[in-house]
Amino acid sequence: MIHYSCDRCKRVLDPEQELRYVVKLEIYAAMEPLECDEQEADRDHLTEIQEILERLEDGDDEAMADDIYQKRRYDLCAECYRQYIKNPIGREAPAHLGFSQN
Ligand SMILES: [Zn+2]
């Protein structure tokens, strides 16, 4: 039997007792399609992207690959899901939830 644990609070989840939430993240650097007949000024930029892509294909720069494309999967318990979905991109808390003025 497969055991799941919450990736956020590390609690072991009992699939018969509670819901498990799966979060899948796919993150990639959005690059505009390359166009061959662009103006001269864009040449360097296009060459740069081309070089990055070539290095990715060579597979010799994993840190660079992480910057461009990442795929993650997380299991969350119901409580952590509720916390996560309130702020999925890790925004800073709004000011009124911060320090009290009293
Ligand atoms: Zn949890």
**Ligand 1 geometric centre to CA of 70 (Å):** 23
Does residue 102 fall inside a structural domain?
Answer: no
- Per-10-residue mean pLDDT, the chain, length 102: 90 90 92 65 70 71 77 95 93 65 57
- Report the alpha-carbon distance of residue 92 to residue 36 in Å, rounded: 41
Domain annotation covers residue 23: yes
CB count in 10 Å sphere of residue 28: 10
Answer whether residue 96 is part of any domain.
Answer: no
Cα(98) to centroid(ligand 1), Å: 24
- Is 98 part of any domain? no
Q: Which residues pair with 1 in a beta bridge?
A: none
Output b/e per residue, 40-59; b: 16+ Cβ within 10 A.
eeeeeeeeeeeebeeeeeee
Q: What is the pTM of this model?
A: 0.58
pLDDT of residue 79: 95
Rounded distance from Cα 48 to ligand 1 centre (Å): 42
Rg of the chain in Å (alpha carbons): 21
Per-residue pLDDT at 61: 61
In a domain, 101, yes or no: no
The one-letter amino acid at 13 = L
Can you give the residue range of the structural domain that contains 38?
Answer: 4-89
Distance (Å, rounded) from C-alpha 99 to C-alpha 93?
11
Residue 85: inside a domain, yes or no? yes
Domain count, the chain: 1
Q: Cβ(68)–Cβ(52) under 8 Å?
A: yes
